[in-house]
Amino acid sequence: MAQRRGAFSTESPLLKDDCMRRDEMASTGTGLQADEDIQSMLVGTVMRKIKSRAWKKQRYFKLEDDCMTIWYKSKKAGNDRSTFSVLDVEAIREGHQSEVLLSTADEFPAERCFTLVFRGRRGNLDLVAESAEEAESWIRGLRKLIENVENMDEQEKLDQWISDWFKKADKNNDGRMNFKEVQDLLKMMNVDMNEHHALRLFTMADKSQSRTLEDDEFVHFYKMLTQREDVLRVFQKYSSDGQKLSLSDLEDFLREEQLEGGNLQQRAKQLIERYEPSDRAKLLNAMSFDGVLMYLGSAEGSVFNPQQRGVYQDMSQPLCHYFISSSHNTYLMEDQLRGHSSVEGYIRALTRGCRCVEVDCWDGANGEPIVYHGHTFTSKIFFKDVVSAVGNYAFKVSEYPVILSIENHCSVGQQRVMAHHLNNILGDKLLKSTLDGKAPGSLPSPEELKGKILLKAKKIGGLEDDFGGIVENGLTGEVSDDDAVAEIEDDNLHRESRKSKQRLSKELSDCVVYCKSVNFNSFKHSRLHAKFYEVTSFTESKARKHLREAGAEFVHHNTRQLTRVYPSGFRTDSSNFNPQEMWNAGCQIVALNFQTAGEGMDLNDGLFSQNGCCGYILKPPFMRDEKRFNPEMPQNLDGYCPISLTVQIISGQQLPKVNMKKDSIVDPLVRVEIHGVPMDQAKQETRYIENNGFNPVWYDTLRFTIHTPELALVRFVVEDYDKASRNDFVGQYTLPFICMQQGYRHIYLLSRDGTSIPPSSIFVHIRMTGLE
């Protein structure tokens, strides 16, 4: 390593160029404002906000000058107005693509309608413009604004975040803030600061000497406030002159800390070109402190390996060799007793990468099958609307197959209607026969099934019968009511129900190809008699029982066939079990309540965040071959090689406020959890830092031993420590162990419902070593 020397100076000429960044951002905003659609939005327009067929109110909508905030208010007198940020908008749907707008289709034509879909669990905003041209202009303008946000780097997003806070605190909208207002704002931003220190920084930032800070002066004040001493320490360790990282310095850092290999000189040049804001530093082939900050704040500097973001796994293996992102009671937006049923549940699940959705079908009025949670007070929706939503959204984010898991309670007549809708609405997307038209010997792969929707349901006879077999009476057949059986926990009811038979229409039966729902007898019976296309379903408690009594057999069963596990019927609040237990057994379709935030969905999102978020994750080799892997005893596996994981929690940045009371500041701690096979289950936490959610510093080191790294997930949780009661949740981030990058990394936190909360992050150092 080169000899390190010199002291860092904030007056370095390399860093002065960076003051131009905000001017560049401003010019970007000016460029946007010159756009015709954006100009129209800046002027504003009256549109109808639609909540139901009966609730349709006119509101005035306008884009603010920052090109980031949209506000709307009633035409009536008064200052009542609502705002939302472009950052919060996930998608724009044109036409009648929501239940609310569909219900008003006879009144408002599709070309005047559009829906704004927000991130997280916030409700949609359904709008009707006065004309088709106005609707098109707003749709185009919003998409340009969203694209602009998506193209921002971390530094630009941070600057925007600071400006947003400034606007929130500038109550009289004069674009200025005095010291008292700045102090109040700091408390809102989770900073508890010494008054003398804050006043000194305030005076330094007040370039105009007006005793107030304008927007850009406040940004300067904020940046002085958030000097990153932790990153500065790393920078000084590797800088030969205290001013910059030369090409050689940067190579040393990448080799010794980030543990990168390959052509490091070329890699260092690439990073300088990509992240260095100073043209002078670029000419010197060097990286300034700001360049290091931008690199460490980027996707390449994050904890998640960017090479595993895209589809990188072999997608040509049989379906049973993959974990499949799966939803339970997909139609529900809330709990399963009184919750609201909506096609929105399907749209949200599918756009999150879910590849198996559940449809509970019951007889409806006028011969139209309906979907809802039977024998409860949940609302009802039409089966045909569910099929339409699935057809429209199945392949928006992933081209790999979608499985429709049908729980069929319908009469034969309405089953025929179901079959008609499936065929008529889905057309060629619905898989109706084996891929090559011949009797297969194993399940096809996700690659072979791209763009196809498969039905998982009861079937008359076997797949072989479709190739010359005879079906009884040709119209209907009898099958065991296995899904109803699986829903019942009581053993007496279980035995009684097992004897019952259900009439099944041939038309619906013919829609089932590779996913026939069957009863589970025993692992021995399955080994001797089960067909590869048969799928068994277990409640979480039954799956746990099998895992406890015959873990290795369960894993082996899942090398040949698909298994679905779903939450117990006693979870009336639609809570989730821990899916990790079921993945440990190799169960592919682990169905969760996507509408319920919490640890279960964090783990699900974490596992499926790799491989292009395509909804399919290839199981480890020992879960796909004939070897007997026992999750209770991973040390018996050939090639067993445990890994030591060391995580140093260094610091936190701009953690969100938990209690919105003005004087409340969080006392943050960080917990690192390992979720995996039983031997790997572990959690450790740092001490808590009192009254600092803004830039807490820990330098606490946590150590773990991981016995089955291929199955492990790592969850970082930040909480607000409370002596008297349970700690409050602040944010979390979960990822597969195998996707973690070593070295100095930022972890950008997610909210309780899985959405990003920029710029909140924690800064860590990660090391992994093999154990002898």
How many whole angstroms separate alpha carbon 75 and alpha carbon 77? 7
**275, burial (CB in 10 Å: exposed 0-12, middle 13-18, buried 19+):** buried
Dig out the tokens for 550 from the structure. Answer: 């015959």
Which residue's structure tokens are 């669990």? 121
> Do the Cβ atoms of 413 and 367 come closer than 8 Å?
yes
Residue 101: enclosing H or E segment and its boundaries?
Answer: helix 99-103
Contacts with 648 (C-beta within 8 Å, 6 or more apart), sequence order: 699, 700, 701, 702, 764, 765, 766
The number of residues in the chain equals 772
Strand segments (E) across 86-217: 89-94, 113-118, 125-128, 176-177, 213-214
Which residue's structure tokens are 């379709």? 589
Q: Tell me the angle at which helices 154-169 and 179-188 cross, rounded to the nearest 10 degrees.
A: 120
Q: H/E/C letters for each residue in 283-325?
A: HCCCECHHHHHHHHCCCCCECECHHHCCCCCCCCCCHHHEEEE
Helix (H, G, I), strand (E, B) or coil at 57: strand
Q: How far apart are the first and last CA of the chain?
A: 28
Choose among 760, 595, 583, 612: nearest CA to 675: 583
**191, burial (CB in 10 Å: exposed 0-12, middle 13-18, buried 19+):** buried
CA count, 13 A, side-chain hemisphere, 216: 10
**Which residues are the active-site residues?**
328, 373
> Do the Cβ atoms of 669 and 685 come closer than 8 Å?
yes
> Do the Cβ atoms of 291 and 243 come closer than 8 Å?
no
